Amino acid sequence: MPYGYYEFIRFSALIGFAILAFQAHQSGREIEMLICASLALLFQPFFKVALGRELWNIVDIVVGVGLILSIFIRGGEKKA
């Protein structure tokens, strides 16, 4: 993929995690807010974090699985 694609993904992740951190803070979920804020800083496109391709692949998978699990956990809380 072109480099601009990855820049767009990083910028989108920054905005998305910042919004999630803000919402978590407003709901009083401080641990979730810290995790989302840390992820926003990790994925931000301005100052690159050099982890290496293999480690970035692991981080991407762990974050993706965590986001999918959080959807199911949040869905279960709203139904209860």
Q: What is the pLDDT of residue 33?
A: 92
How many whole angstroms from its chain centre is CA 64? 8
H or E, element range at 21 = helix 3-26
Is the domain of 43 the same as that of 57?
Answer: no
Is the domain of 2 the same as that of 22?
Answer: yes
- Show the tokens assigned to 72: 């199911």
Q: What is the pLDDT of residue 37?
A: 93
Task: Give the chain's domain count.
Answer: 2
Which residue from 34, 35, 36, 43 is spatially nearest to 14, judged by alpha carbons?
43
Is the domain of 54 the same as that of 41?
Answer: no
User: Angle of helix 3-26 relative to helix 30-43, nearest 10 degrees?
Assistant: 160
**Cβ atoms 39, 67 nearer than 8 A:** no
Is the domain of 11 the same as that of 27?
Answer: yes
Q: What is the pLDDT of residues 19-56, one digit of tens each?
A: 989 998 998 889 989 999 999 998 887 888 788 889 98
Is the domain of 36 the same as that of 56?
Answer: no
Is the domain of 7 the same as that of 44?
Answer: yes
Domain of residue 22, residue span: 1-48
Does residue 2 carry a pLDDT above 80?
yes
Q: What is the pLDDT of residue 76?
A: 63
Does residue 78 carry a pLDDT above 70?
no
